[in-house]
Structures are given as structure tokens and as C-alpha cells.
Structure 1
Amino acid sequence: MPQPILFDMDGVLLEGPGTHPQVYADAADAALDELEADPTPTQRADLRRNDLENVADHCEALGIDPARFWQLKERYASQGTHDRLRAGERGLYDDIDAIEALAERTTVGLVTNNRHETAEFVADYVGIDFEVVRGRDPTLEGYRRRKPEPDYIEEALDELGSSEGLYVGDSIKDVTAGLAAGLETAFLRRSHNRGLDRPAEATLELESLAALTDIV
């Protein structure tokens, strides 16, 4: 069987390069409410962003556990993301049916910097038979291990029992992480990255996921 193909999620399956900032803002507010914290406007603004240094400092000042705050924020962010998908506020790319076709020929997986809970939701939502799904852990350390670090890709490969394959992503950090994990890489063009130069280290440049069906 051909080598496995692993796919990034945001900008590859889901339209747009990442989670909408308002999702994180709402998630932070919900976490603060649950923890009965009363932040200043500056603290609230910082905690709405994924800035780990400020999270630790502000949580200490507010007398709340930063690990607990982060876990709650991640949970509420996943809920907000899932609601937006169900409501059609964030769409899917038209060419992801190519991944379903590829799943009939080889092993396919989903590896993303997005939250693991959301990765599992999206895999089920799109109905593709991914052999492995890996997103970031809902912890401060899990956030630090995101791409361009190769950790989550390596964990997916370990689960598949493979050390070779192809990683498909839409950003430079995807190419960097894939290479660090020992994979070939494909840089996928989308509307949000048209102005970027092709990463020199990328094995392939794709105008559509459909092009993979002619390669594999």
C-alpha cells in the first residue's frame, strides 16, 4: 500500500487559515465567568488572546489556576467552533472529496494545531475515514507543542506504525513540521496564501487536493 498521507485541517479542510478570534474571545469570557474571576479590561483583552506569558501572569494576579483557565478556554473554543460549523458560518473546501477517494487507496490522517476535540469533531463532520486524528492537547504544554514543532505529526506516525509519508498543509510551518518529522511535504494553495512564495523545502505544490489523486 502507498505511504500514508497526513493532512492539516485549517486551510485544508476548513475554509480560512484558522479559528476566528471572536471564538477565542467568547471562550475566554466563558472560562472567566465559570471561574468567577473579575479581570480588568486589559487583563480580559490579553486573556482572550493565546499569549501564554500573559495568561500565566494574569491568572496569578486574579488568583485562578492558569492550567484550569486554559482547559476551560479550550473547551469553550471547541464548542464555539463546532457551533459555527453546524450553522454554516465556516465552510468546507469543495475539493476535500479527494481525501475520501484517497482513503480508498491508502492510509489518510488528520494532524492539526487546532484542538484535538475539534479535530475529532471535524473528522466525524466531514465523514472521511481517517486512520488517525491528532490535534493539540488542551493544556499549556500542548499549545507549546504546536507546529512548526513536529510532535503531533510524529505521534500520528507512531500510531500508524510508519516513519514515512506525505504531509499536506497550507503554511510554511506545516512544511517545516512535516520535514522535521521525516516526511515529504505538499504546499497547498488557497486564497489566503496566494501571495506567499512556495517554501523551498516543499516536495510538491498543489493548486487543489484533487491533484493528489493523480499523484498517489
Structure 2
Amino acid sequence: MTTVLFDMDGIVLEGPRTDPQVYADAADAAVADLEIDPSPAQREDFRRHDAERIRTHCEELGVDPDRFWELKERYASQGTHDRLRAGEREIYDDVATIRDLADRTTVGLVTNNRHETAEFVADYVGIDFDAVRGRDPTFEGYERRKPDSYYIEDALATLGVADGVYVGDSHKDVAAGQAAGLETVYVRRDHNRDHERPPNATVELEGLTGLPAALESL
């Protein structure tokens, strides 16, 4: 069976993205660590993920933008992990399908989310992924998110393969998978139920349970 790479948010973790409050709390923690005193407007920008504004404000406040970004990413990962442990964010029930596939073929986890969180989630769900790749905690790492195919291609290189399937829940997932030369599976969840199917998605599924049969047909 072919190599199968999976998105994380919306495929493994319920919901399409990290709760914005996690980033807000992470920014506040980074501000405290760096002992800076931003204005209310600056603090509000720090809480968002606008890389250019964060760079500008860090320079205005005399701190290293790269250091601030790294701290914010680290605290965001910690906050996400705490929410998972507390049951504030759940795992989809059909993730068992990935666990079964991992016993039969090569599987990977490739996400726009932070690499630290991707590794945590892989361990948390108890799936032996052959490759795990999330974004690097740098400005450059953030800019390489899907629809850029950088992280998918990096995972493929790690696995030593050039083809396979990418499974995701967004247009960006399908675009990135196609750019990396993979077949793509678009999975319907509650948050994308009314979205148009991405152009040229190879397969569309109502959840992961139909994935093994779909892979056999590719």
C-alpha cells in the first residue's frame, strides 16, 4: 500500500485550527518573559499571528523578533498540550483508521501547526507515524505553511519516497499535496461541511473510515 500523509488539525484533532486564545495567552507569556511593556495596540498585535507587525513592534521595543516568535510558539504549544490533556480539545473517533493503517503501510503526520505540537499529538494518540513534520518556530517556518508544499516535501524526503497520498480537510491541504506530486483526499468534517470541494481533489470522503477502501482504488 502507498505512503499516506495526514494533516493534523481537522483530521486528527477536532476543529480546523488552534484556538486564538491559546496564541493570545502565549503572546502575553512571551511579553512577560522578555520584560517588555507594549502599548495596548502593540499587545493586541502580538496576540495575533501577523509576522510583519510583530517584527515591527519588537524592533520598536528593543527586543529580538526571532526570540519573541520562538517564545510565543513554545508557549502556544504548551497551551495546546494542556487543552488536550484537560479534554478541552478532542480527538476524532475515526483516528483509529490511521492507527490501523500504520500497521500496514507507511504513514506520516504533516501539519501547518507547530512541530512541537505535532510530535506531542503523535505520541498522545499513540500512532507510530514514520514521519512527523510541523512548522519550525521561526518566521521563515511560518511562511512555509501550506499551501506551500515545503513541509510535505520534507516529510517525503525523510521517508525516501516521491509519491503517495495526502489527506486533509482544506483547500490548502489539497493544493499543497498536489504541488508535492501526491494524490489528495479531501475529508468532510463539521467545520467544512458546506465548503465547496477543492478543485482536482482525487477523492472526497465523509470521514476517515472509508479511507482504506479509497486507497485500494487509487
**TM-score category (smaller protein):** over 0.9
Question: 1:154 offset after TM fit, Å?
Answer: 0.1
Q: Is the 8 A contact 1:157 1:163 kept in 2?
A: yes
Q: Is the 8 A contact 2:203 2:214 kept in 1?
A: no
Cα separation, 1, equivalents of 2:71 and 2:128:
29
**Which residue pairs with 1:163 in the alignment?**
162
Aligned length: 215
Matched, 1:122 2:156: no
Map 1:33-182 to 2 at 5 A. 33-182=32-181
TM-score (norm 2): 0.98
**Which residue pairs with 1:25 in the alignment?**
24
Question: 1:173 offset after TM fit, Å?
Answer: 0.2
Q: Is the 8 A contact 1:101 1:213 kept in 2?
A: no
Measured on the aligned residues, the alpha-carbon RMSD in Å equals 0.6
Letter in 2 for 1:109: G
Question: 1:208 offset after TM fit, Å?
Answer: 1.2
Question: 1:214 offset after TM fit, Å?
Answer: 1.9
CA shift digits 1:40-91 (9 cap, x unpaired):
0000000100001101111011111000000000000000000000000000
**Which residue pairs with 1:5 in the alignment?**
4
TM-score (norm 1): 0.99
Letter in 2 for 1:167: Y
Cα separation, 2, equivalents of 1:48 and 1:169:
27
CA shift digits 1:127-165 (9 cap, x unpaired):
011000000000010000000000000000000100100
Structure 1: gaps of 5 or more residues: none
Cα separation, 1, equivalents of 2:101 and 2:167:
13
Secondary structure in 2 matching 1:209: coil
Question: 1:213 offset after TM fit, Å?
Answer: 2.0
Structure 2: gaps of 5 or more residues: none
